[in-house]
Amino acid sequence: MVHAKGVQTRIVPRNGTASWQQIDRSQGVTGDLNLNREPRYELGREDRVDFKKRRPEFRYNLKQFEYGDMSLFRRLANKADSVKSLTQADFKTATCDLLEYLTDDDATINGTIWMPKLRVSRFSLSVGEPSADLERSFDLVGEDWKWVKYSNKYMIYLEKTCESGETGSVAIVVGAGDYTNYPDPVVNPDVAGQYILAVYRVRSGVLTVLAETTNYTYVSGTKTLTFLNAQAGDVYKVLYSASSYITDSAIWTDNDSDPGAIDADCISIYLNVSNYAYLLQSMSLELAFDRTDYGQLGDGDIAQTGIKTTTATVNVDKYVEGAAIEEILRGVAANYGLIDARKFAEDVRLTVKIYDSSDKDTFVMGYEISGLTPSTQNDADAIQDYKKRTFALVSDNVLITDDETELTS
């Protein structure tokens, strides 16, 4: 059997120059595949004729401790590590592949699950109480799920950037030169003669999924992979399966430099720039995308990716004592004599600053949602307890950054 400690996940951003990377601080994943098979019948016949095989739907959820690192966000958005800030627009067309390497209780590799062309449909950050850890949650959607096993059990990622003068047909040899430590590709048991499972080319920021023979060739006898019509600056990202892993490389390296999680006392929450939000008991923010990912006639795959609308939701709650938050939402000064919910503001800003410790000396990451308007307010009175009030606010603007100067507060 495969224990949770034997599941090691890596992400491959399809576009951009960022390389693949392991996913740290994961707390749990779920993957649901709906094959969308619809029975077809005809008049005069009792049994079905066959199944109409519609495009599958795959949904993947990853829960992760917040640990003050933006690298996963960058790869989900297909951005380089030099990019300091992201907004909702950066996730519109970005796609990635996830690889789960599975090892059983006998320390034997069980294979690799490959989830291609995933897109972000939702993200959330939450802290449930003043003594809790911060948690992230990512929802991704796609159409495919594949499990390479036995002689094909390792998914291998190989990357080539064309240097100045490398144009036209550019060849590399697997197992030689810069790729000496790479194992031999193993043939795809579903497709005779196919050894390379996917090749993505990034040219001037444009992603192209390449076709064998037309855009690249592979000769198994010489282990030569040739990229056709290449240009200097092209980045080629290659995936294939093999019976062993890259020599002198590890699928997983323990990250002991970052914190295991960020505690609730390591954050500061502000409303409208300079107003520190005191006495909050919990906080959550969610970014949800109404995705518009379309296929095309003559092709069973998704051909266009986009987002129709973005909804950002913030929930905060407090025990009722004083009216500082209500005054901010109302847009009035402290000690104002009347809070009328009908007059709540329409442009509230919430900023979450994350620090590496409760001393709050070193900023590591921040989230900011602007243009918020209150949508609901809930008062809860329970026997033998204090009165609690919860606010929900909505917007469509989110900023995620590890550069504190990008934040307004």
CATH number at residue 375: 2.30.110
- Cβ partners under 8 Å of residue 55, min gap 6: 36, 143, 295, 300, 301, 302
Question: Helix, strand, or coil here: 61?
Answer: strand
User: How many domains is the chain partitioned into structurally?
Assistant: 2
Same domain? 232 vs 294: no
Same domain? 269 vs 396: yes
Contact by Cβ (8 Å): 140, 118:
yes
Determine, yes or no, domain membership for 383. yes
Rounded Cα gap, residues 208 and 227, in angstroms: 13
Task: Write down which residue in 208, 242, 276 finishes a domain.
Answer: 242
Tokens read off for 103: 């090892």
What is Dmax (Cα atoms) for the chain? 83
What CATH number corresponds to the domain at position 190?
2.60.40
Determine, yes or no, domain membership for 40. no
Same domain? 237 vs 276: no
Tokens read off for 280: 């909050």
**pLDDT value at position 179?**
97
Determine, yes or no, domain membership for 66. no
Same domain? 401 vs 271: yes
Determine, yes or no, domain membership for 7. no
Same domain? 188 vs 312: no
Same domain? 357 vs 317: yes
Rounded Cα gap, residues 259 and 261, in angstroms: 5
Rounded Cα gap, residues 259 and 155, in angstroms: 29
Cβ burial, residue 75 (10 Å; 0-12/13-18/19+): buried
Same domain? 390 vs 309: yes
Task: Find the domain containing 298 and state its range.
Answer: 264-406
Task: Write down which residue in 189, 209, 242 finishes a domain.
Answer: 242
**pLDDT value at position 54?**
82
**pLDDT value at position 409?**
66
Predicted model pTM = 0.92
* Whole-number Cα distances in Å, 121 to 8, 12, 77, 307, 321: 23, 17, 12, 9, 37
Determine, yes or no, domain membership for 390. yes
**pLDDT value at position 316?**
87
Determine, yes or no, domain membership for 222. yes
Length of the chain: 409
Rounded Cα gap, residues 95 and 141, in angstroms: 10
Q: Which single residue is written with the structure tokens 């290659």?
A: 238
Q: Which of 99, 145, 108 is nearest to 251 (CA)?
A: 99
Same domain? 238 vs 280: no
**pLDDT value at position 277?**
83
Same domain? 313 vs 374: yes
Rounded Cα gap, residues 184 and 180, in angstroms: 10
Rounded Cα gap, residues 164 and 49, in angstroms: 58
Low-confidence ranges of the chain (pLDDT < 50): none
Same domain? 236 vs 283: no
Determine, yes or no, domain membership for 139. no
Same domain? 234 vs 281: no
Q: Which of 139, 151, 148, 252 is nearest to 198 (CA)?
A: 148
Same domain? 393 vs 362: yes
Determine, yes or no, domain membership for 233. yes
